[in-house]
Chains A and B, each alone.
Chain A
Amino acid sequence: MAELKSGNALSLAAGVIAVGLLGWWGISQERESAAPHTAHGRIPVYYWHMWSAEWKPVMENVVTEFNASQTKYEVIPLQVPYGNADSKFLLSVAGGDPPDVMAQWTQAISTWSQGGILQPLETRMTPTEKNYFDNETYPVIHNNGWYKGHLYGMVMGVDVYACYYRADDFKQAGVDPDPAKFPSTLEGLTALGKKLDRTDASGNLTRVGFLPAGLTQFAPAFGGGFYDQSTRDVALDTPQNLKALTYIVDEHNRLGMDRLLRYNASLKPQNGADWPFIDGSMSISLDGEWRVQQLAKFAPNLKYHVAPLPAPAGGKPMASFSVTNFLTIPAGAKHSEGAWEFIKFWAGMDNPARAAKYNTAFGWLPSSPRMAGSPVYQAYLKKYPEYKTFVDLAASKNIVTTPPVPYQMFLMDRISAADDLAERGSVTPGMALKGLTKDVTRERSQRKELGYDE
């Protein structure tokens, strides 16, 4: 093979670089020219979300209906994998090319708002929209997504928790499964759960009547929580939280830590058709509203009812922790007006009755009594009567939410870690809550030292 002459080699190298640069320039030009309008001549609104599998077409139907209602904007959805959605999103904002609308499942609105990642939404509302939002939406819809007086995330779906129970298990134990006769106190429910426990010949648990787990889930019924609205500060080591955690730990001790560990490990995953409640591994389960649709789909013949978690003595009735998902407009969104139009449309701010169709398709709670009273939502409740308990919970004032503090991800991780320590019996509930307070105080002083805004 003939040796490549140096002049030719230089020309070749220069050629390769030139072609590369040309290609890069071409692509950027194409993106520039493609940006202003879609194929339908409308302004594109890029929307990232994480709904996959059975939920993807449900979500895409909302987009299709919005696009059909529009002459100005066209929403272009893109499904991003849930596992790395946050990092992709954050990098897109940092890179100056974020989507116009981002669905948000992480309870980090305050953290991100403080970081300048999201745009406020309430400033975009017309007086009519603001009136509807402030005066008509349920507290759990209205009070989530705020940070320092600004609304950064519009709540779309809210998960609240109530007791699902198997009617046949109740009957076998000689208990009337009529919802009107469901225990009215947590103490009564605990005693009933004990009656429903089953073990095999070796003493292993084969069915648990009622297994309380998770401080976040039980603190609200004890009147606890993690944030004091009056002082606008976190409240962790409170008598109410201590009572809640002690109750959970006592129940774990009663069932036996090791026995419980093995029982939990034997359970199927919590998803869809595998939910252990369906196969009878538990008689009463504190779970979210989305299970109603799942039960209709995966266990249509299962006889069950739903009742709110009863309050313990001195506790609060109709209480629950809530987890929400949001629609947000990132900082640097190029078509934020179109993004807001889409959010309003989906949230039903102009027409709650229309949006009821989307909430029912997702199995979500109504955002307002007006939506709940709409013919579509009423038809949904007729089809799924057990769902009514969750609608009643939505209107409750005893719903606890993730504290709106900028270190909320750290806070929730540490609450979970303290809960884990206590539930496993490694420390007492009191020590767990003291340790939690210490961790959070340390983190806050560290943030202060670094100059973060509280």
Chain B
Amino acid sequence: MKKNWIGYAFISPWIIGFLLFTAFPFLSSVYLSFTRYNIITPAVWVGGANYHTLLTGDPLFWKSLGVTFRFAAIAVPLGIVAGVALALLLNLNLRGMGIYRTIFFLPSIVPTVATSVVFLWLFNPEIGLVNRLLKLVGVTGPPWLGSASWALPTLVLMSLWGVGGSMVIYLAGLKDIPSYLYEAAIIDGATPWQRLRHVTLPMLSPVIFFNLVMGLIGIFQYFTEAYIMTQGGPEDSTHFYALYLFERAWRYLDMGYASAMAWVLFLVIMAITGVMFWTQRRWVHYEG
């Protein structure tokens, strides 16, 4: 017991920091979500008014939630497919593979702000590189971020730029698959597609599941790119939930309402993660 106390004493700076800067704000926000609060004057208790307005009287709340769901529904599966495909390619035994892996991983460590600014130029309808390349093959490119119908798909495309981060995890997962499973499959006459379908993907499913959950959590907090590139426009087509939450908190000084939004988001993420965990019993295979 005494030994434990010594350990606690050593980690006490972290524990104190966690309690003060994570646990306390986290719990405070529960209380604040039931108040009217502008961060300067004391919070005033308003009961469930913030939640009531959110759910019944704020179309932008539903719109921003819809935008976020649509984005998640496209970007997360696409990110998984691209990440797995890239990892499969980079798992081949080719000369200079380390260099290729580094190249594909590099974009994921570029700061989001820098990436966003570069992509603003790439997707410029008139002078951007993407439309210039499309023009070379006779295609007139769309207005990308300038169009209400194209802005969200443009951000989805851009999200693939950072797929290198999950690719590394898939790659580690692929390396973990025992080679005897492939040997057995080959002996049984399995084609490459059958080996992928019945060996690689099932064995990789715990990693896919991990990236799916982390990806969903990340997507529901999608903010920086929209803040820098579109500010929610055009026509609120990229008004993501986190962006609206930020506006409520820091532009309209409605911290109580923003706290309520944060808790609704927390519950949404928890619910979706719960559903994912429930479904994983059917499709995630753990070795042994």
Contact = CB atoms under 8 A, between A and B. Distances in A.
Contacts of B5: 10
B252 A13 contact: no
Contacts of A331: 40
A444 to B, nearest CB: 11
Contacts of A266: 124-127
A80 B124 CA distance: 30
B36 A421 contact: no
B107 to A, nearest CB: 24
A87 B143 contact: no
Interface stretch (B46-54, B86-94, B203-211): B46-54
Interface string B8-49: 011011000000000000000000000010111100101001
A261 B9 contact: no
Name which of A16, A417, A445 has the most chain B CB atoms within 10 A of its CB.
Answer: A417
A451 B44 contact: yes
Interface in B213-239: 233-236
Contacts of B148: 424, 426
Interface string A427-448: 0000000000001001001100
Given A9-B10, A13-B12, A115-B253, A261 B143 contact: yes
A420 B257 CA distance: 26
Contacts of B124: 265-266
A34 to B, nearest CB: 26
B258 to A, nearest CB: 12
Interface stretch (A88-96, A231-239, A349-357): A88-96
Nearest to A449: B49
B282 interface: no
A191 interface: no
B2 A115 contact: no
Contacts of A91: 39
Given A20-B13, A450-B36, A451-B46, A262 B41 contact: no
A127 B38 CA distance: 35
B281 interface: no
B146 A261 contact: yes
Interface residues of A, number: 45
B247 A413 contact: yes
Contacts of A112: 253
B3 A6 contact: yes
B145 to A, nearest CB: 9
Contacts of A299: none
B39 A413 contact: no
Interface string A19-50: 01000000000000000000000000000000
A14 to B, nearest CB: 7
A266 B53 CA distance: 42
Interface string B138-154: 00000100111000000
Contacts of A115: 38, 40-41, 253
Contact of B49 (A17, A20, A450): A450
Interface string A388-404: 00000000000000000
Interface string B155-170: 0000000000000000
A10 B2 CA distance: 10
B251 A417 contact: no
A293 interface: no
Contacts of A290: none
B250 interface: yes
B126 A265 contact: yes
B40 A449 contact: no
Contacts of A261: 125, 143, 146-147
A14 B9 contact: yes
Interface in A342-366: none
A454 interface: no
B10 A262 contact: no
Nearest to B145: A265
B287 interface: no
A384 interface: no
B143 A265 contact: yes
Nearest to B128: A265
A266 B250 CA distance: 33
A452 B234 contact: no
A187 interface: no
B176 interface: no
A449 to B, nearest CB: 6
B40 A407 contact: no
Interface string B47-88: 001101100011100000000000000000000000000000
A13 B10 contact: yes
B234 A420 contact: yes
A54 B231 CA distance: 27
Nearest to B127: A266
30 contacts: A6-B6, A9-B6, A13-B10, A13-B12, A17-B9, A93-B40, A94-B39, A111-B252, A111-B253, A115-B253, A117-B40, A262-B125, A262-B143, A264-B146, A265-B124, A265-B127, A265-B143, A265-B146, A266-B124, A266-B127, A410-B252, A417-B236, A420-B234, A421-B235, A424-B148, A449-B53, A450-B49, A451-B36, A451-B44, A451-B46
Interface of A: 6, 9-10, 13-14, 16-17, 20, 86-87, 90-91, 93-94, 108, 111-112, 115-117, 258, 261-266, 331, 407, 409-410, 413, 417, 420-421, 424, 426, 439, 442, 445-446, 449-452
Interface of B: 2-3, 5-6, 9-10, 12-13, 36, 38-41, 44, 46, 49-50, 52-53, 57-59, 124-127, 143, 146-148, 233-236, 247, 250-253, 256-257
